[in-house]
Structure 1
Amino acid sequence: MIEQRLQLPNGQSIQYLLDLRARRTIGLKITANGLVVHAPKRISATQLQQVLLEKSGWIQQKLALREANQVAPMQWLDGEPLLFMGQDIVLTLQQHATNKAVTLQGNQLLVRSPQSDQPAFVARKVLQWYAQQALPDFKRRVELIAAQMGEKITSVALSNARSRWGSCNSRKQIRLNWRLIQAPPHIIQYVVCHEMAHLREMNHSARFYAVQESLFPHHLQAEKELKALSAILHRMA
């Protein structure tokens, strides 16, 4: 990708990443890094600039919305706010000569360790704890829905994807993003039902949504809630 800058008539400018591909149209995408422009390899600079200027209002609106929704990155320090199953909890660090346990006590996620003053160590221990909580919870949900559907699942595993909450393949293998364990239970259930619906329809056709509706009737509202939560759930690397 090539770093570029779009000069606006009002004197302001927008920095963006240009990705030239074998395609016919120009595509605009707002990512965590800002504006990404996918354009045909043979497009002229003048033509590209004209299109971007025409879309500048939309681009500025989306970039402003992205900025407003920015969430402070994790610091892995004592008192850091966390989420678990939709509940607010607090990271609590304690120096301990030998104990390296991570335990949830009330609303405190307690990390005891001689290395509790090292953010990288704390991050690793906390992420391990979240994964340990996520897998059995997700497996239980999948197994219950599989029984309801009369289906058999080959495996359930955790995913670390940045852009997908789950996946289901033709081998009946389900993968679910461990970050979901931070979300309220009904959001987790929605994603599980979405992936399980793919056992019947490996697409997003009307038939697929009919299956999803039968498994989770309030999927449209849950989808909106998950989108609103996404930035918070991705605070964790």
Structure 2
Amino acid sequence: MQLTAAPNPTEVRSIELPWGVCRYILKRSKRRSVGFLIGDQGLQISAPLRLPITELNDIIATKSSWIEQRLKQWEVRCKQTISLSSLLDEGKPIPVRGEPYHLETLPPRCKAMLNPWTKSIALPACESTLQRDKAIEKVLKAHAKEVFTHMATKLLERQPAAQRLPSFSIHLSSPGSRWGSCNSKREVRLNWRLVHYPPQLIEYVIAHELAHLVEMNHSVRFWAVVESLMPDYHTPHKALSKMNPAEVPVL
């Protein structure tokens, strides 16, 4: 009896589409449908473990126009993006909540930490640039989760008891074109790179997504909920509408 090897959970593949060769990262998992995402590394496709590659190619072909358009947008964002590696290599500070944070080196085996009092990110000596970047991302994500959770709690305290929002959970995400999202499971997902921005902008995104817990639209009622959470939301709303997630440093 011949055994068939299990498909590689993650692999880089390419497919010929009407507009040219498309390179993508394929991730296999125990899911039932095919998902498409334009992330930091370009096109990422999630597919069921047992879906034949021929069927997957047919599905990808039906999304050809969408993929072409989104990849062009991704390429433009990449050209506009400042990498954290570049900032660090040039000795420039990292923006954290709108303020410049400098990198400090700790002795080996010390725990990495972000210090809001000294405005610094301290890391143990790293063997490579990649190791350094991953360590900084881990520190920034931990800080983002803490900051976002605290801000969400403070925003809720502004609401009258009769208008309290339902319970929810905060999650981090790193999409290329969204600041945040909210689903029917009451999962509020926030782009962790918001941690680079001033507090008022972060609070607005959180208030916006919290309002979606009760109004999954952008109706008059939705904006009334946003205003109840953040009365001065108009200023950050206008500021953020002129930006996009590609304007903050990425790894």
- TM superposition score category, shorter chain reference: 0.5 to 0.7
Amino acid at match of 2:113: V
How many residue pairs are counted as aligned between the two chains? 184
CA shift in 2, pair 1:110/1:77, >3 Å: farther
Distance 1:225 1:167 in 2: 19
- Specify which of 80, 84, 90 is matched with residue 74 of structure 1: 84
Does residue 143 (structure 1) correspond to residue 185 (structure 2)? The answer is no
Corresponding residue of 2:97: 85
Corresponding residue of 1:175: 189
C-alpha displacement at 1:166, in angstroms? Answer: 1.2
* Residues 1-237 of structure 1 mapped to structure 2, 5 A cutoff: 2-3=19-20, 21=65, 31-34=73-76, 70-75=80-85, 76-77=88-89, 79-92=91-104, 94=105, 96-104=107-115, 106-113=118-125, 115=126, 117-147=127-157, 148=159, 149-228=163-242, 230=244, 234-237=248-251
- TM-score normalised over the length of structure 2: 0.61
Distance 2:72 2:227 in 1: 30
Distance 2:190 2:96 in 1: 16
C-alpha displacement at 1:194, in angstroms? Answer: 0.3
C-alpha displacement at 1:28, in angstroms? Answer: 9.7
CA shift in 2, pair 1:229/1:179, >3 Å: same
Question: Which whole-Å deviations, capped at 9, do the CAs of 1:163-214 have from their partners, x for residues lacking one?
Answer: 2111122232211111111111111110111011112210112221222233
> For the Cα contact (< 8 Å) 2:194–2:202, is it kept in 1?
yes
Distance 1:96 1:29 in 2: 42
CA shift in 2, pair 1:126/1:233, >3 Å: farther
> For the Cα contact (< 8 Å) 2:177–2:246, is it kept in 1?
no
Distance 1:198 1:150 in 2: 13
Corresponding residue of 2:9: none
Distance 2:130 2:138 in 1: 12
Question: Which whole-Å deviations, capped at 9, do the CAs of 1:24-73 have from their partners, x for residues lacking one?
Answer: xxx89962314xxxxxxxxxxxxxxxxxxxxxxxxxxxxxxx79x83432
Amino acid at match of 2:73: T
> For the Cα contact (< 8 Å) 1:77–1:91, is it kept in 2?
no
* Partner SS for 1:123: helix
Larger RCO: 1 or 2 (CA < 8 Å, sep 6+): 2
CA shift in 2, pair 1:110/1:172, >3 Å: same
Corresponding residue of 1:63: none
> For the Cα contact (< 8 Å) 1:72–1:235, is it kept in 2?
yes
> For the Cα contact (< 8 Å) 2:112–2:123, is it kept in 1?
yes
Name which of structure 1's ranges 227-236 and 162-171 shifts more when overlaid on structure 2: 227-236
C-alpha displacement at 1:119, in angstroms? Answer: 1.0
Distance 1:232 1:31 in 2: 10
Q: Which consecutive residues of structure 1, in runs of 5 or more, have no partner in the other structure?
A: 5-18, 35-65
- TM-score normalised over the length of structure 1: 0.65
Distance 2:234 2:137 in 1: 29
Amino acid at match of 1:176: L
Q: Which consecutive residues of structure 2, in runs of 5 or more, have no partner in the other structure?
A: 1-16, 22-62
